[in-house]
């Protein structure tokens, strides 16, 4: 294990995030084992993973990941609150009617209040606008984030999935209010490099930290779906693609990526490391990535992911071979 966990600074701010952070999008819902959730959080803290990422709609059902975390925080980890860096978000569908979704001031601030109640905390460390709203004026959505900070319910604000131009405009509004956008969340992994020519350079310009989600492409980049031979994937019983309660990774998506994942897996083997390590260390090669936000269903998974932190940079010839397969910058 490469301990202690290295921490990276987010832009020009006091936020220091572990190279590997833990997201609770999956595996912390109502039907997941409380004991396993507790063991994962406890092991994460031991490994120096102090950042836990939530959103109001995480579960399933929506809200249940925050309720689970609130239960664990109040029952088991109360004395660790100041060591933890907790984030939540609002902006996806949560309740019926015109205020249950998107980016109005009403939705964001009601959503934040609900999150605080479920999490049983007075404040979160970061509150995000979970996605841009094409209908609501940007000034209103940013105004809600500013209010969250001024009312003491969030310490910092962030954005998620904003395209570059909108992101720059949002940053300008927030800067004017002296509540800067310090984190931006977006997808980045070996199967999806679209951010390299889009949001990533924009973040550098704005001095905003990058926290990248689905670094293992929801598990595909662990090699777990590869069969011994042929391009027909296997679906391990507990895996995300096999679970009935997860609609975000389908067997068809897995099938589509099998050939590329197989080639990357061969590269990883030749380099003497598991594909999981290759995928995470490849993201950490970039100093502008503040943190790589993984999901974990078991303690073993979080231990394996944490091993990618603090490793030496991948050699140049390996990076070139990866570019040749997955499309360079």
Ligand X SMILES: NC(=O)c1ccc[n+]([C@@H]2O[C@H](COP(=O)([O-])OP(=O)(O)OC[C@H]3O[C@@H](n4cnc5c(N)ncnc54)[C@H](OP(=O)(O)O)[C@@H]3O)[C@@H](O)[C@H]2O)c1
CB of 262 to ligand X, least distance (A): 16
What's the rounded Cα separation, in Å, for the pair 159 and 185?
6
Closest listed residue to residue 221, CA positions, set 239, 246, 200: 239
CB of 204 to ligand X, least distance (A): 20
Q: How many CB atoms lie under 10 A from the CB of residue 134?
A: 8
Query: Judging by DSSP bridges, how do beta strands 7-9 and 51-53 pair with one another?
Result: unpaired
Contact 132, 163 (CB under 8 A): yes
Among 144, 170, 293, 308, binds ligand X (CB under 6 A): 293
Task: Tell me whether residue 153 or residue 224 sits nearer to ligand X (CB atom).
Answer: 224
What is the per-residue binding string for ligand X in 14-53, x denoting contact by CB under 6 A?
Answer: ---------xxxxx-------------------------x
Q: Tell me if 281 contacts ligand X by CB under 6 A.
A: no
CB under 6 A: which stretch of 68-76, 112-120, 168-176, 290-298 binds ligand X?
290-298
Q: Which residue is nearest to ligand X (CB)?
A: 23
CB of 182 to ligand X, least distance (A): 15
Contact 120, 70 (CB under 8 A): yes
Q: Tell me if 157 contacts ligand X by CB under 6 A.
A: no
Distance of CA 118 to the CA centre of its chain: 20
Closest listed residue to residue 56, CA positions, set 106, 95, 1, 17: 95
Q: Tell me if 291 contacts ligand X by CB under 6 A.
A: no
What part of residues 64-103 is at the interface with ligand X (CB under 6 A)? none
Give me 160's structure tokens.
Answer: 């998620």
Among 51, 147, 153, 161, binds ligand X (CB under 6 A): 161
Among 185, 208, 290, 291, binds ligand X (CB under 6 A): 185
What's the rounded Cα separation, in Å, for the pair 24 and 42?
14
Task: Tell me whether residue 244 or residue 317 sits nearer to ligand X (CB atom).
Answer: 244
What's the rounded Cα separation, in Å, for the pair 305 and 221?
12
Query: Judging by DSSP bridges, how do beta strands 7-9 and 209-213 pair with one another?
Result: unpaired
Question: What are the residues binding ligand X (CB under 6 A)?
Answer: 23-27, 53, 130, 160-161, 185, 213-219, 222, 224, 239-240, 276, 293-297, 301, 304-305
């Amino acid at each position: 294990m490469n301990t202690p966990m290295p921490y990276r600074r987010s832009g020009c701010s006091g936020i220091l995030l572990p190279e590997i952070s833990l997201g609770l999008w999956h595996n912390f819902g109502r039907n997941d084992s409380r004991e396993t959730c507790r063991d994962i959080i406890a092991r994460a803290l031991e490994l120096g993973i102090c950042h836990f990422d939530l959103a109001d709609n995480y579960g399933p059902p929506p809200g249940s990941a925050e309720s689970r975390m609130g239960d664990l925080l109040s029952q088991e980890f109360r004395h660790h609150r100041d060591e933890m860096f907790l984030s939540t978000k609002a902006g996806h569908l949560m309740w019926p009617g015109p205020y249950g979704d998107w980016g109005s001031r009403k939705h964001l601030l009601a959503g934040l209040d609900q999150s605080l109640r479920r999490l049983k905390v007075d404040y979160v460390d970061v509150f995000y606008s979970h996605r841009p709203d094409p209908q609501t004026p940007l000034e209103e959505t940013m105004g809600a984030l500013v209010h969250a900070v001024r009312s003491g319910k969030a310490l910092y604000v962030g954005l998620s999935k904003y395209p570059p131009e909108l992101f720059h405009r949002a940053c300008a509004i927030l800067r004017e209010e002296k509540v800067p956008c310090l984190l931006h969340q977006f997808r980045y992994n070996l199967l999806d490099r679209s951010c390299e020519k889009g949001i990533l350079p924009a973040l550098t310009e704005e001095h905003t930290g990058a926290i990248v989600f689905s670094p293992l492409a929801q598990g595909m980049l662990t090699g777990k779906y590869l069969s011994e031979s042929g391009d027909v994937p296997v679906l391990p019983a507990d895996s995300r693609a096999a679970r009935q309660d997860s609609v975000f990774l389908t067997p068809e998506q897995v099938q589509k990526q099998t050939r590329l994942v197989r080639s990357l897996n061969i590269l990883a083997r030749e380099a003497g490391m598991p594909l999981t390590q290759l995928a995470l260390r490849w993201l950490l090669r970039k100093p502008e990535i503040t943190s790589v936000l993984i999901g974990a269903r078991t303690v073993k998974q979080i231990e394996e992911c944490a091993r990618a932190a603090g490793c030496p940079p991948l050699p140049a010839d390996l990076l070139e071979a990866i570019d040749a397969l997955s499309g360079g910058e």
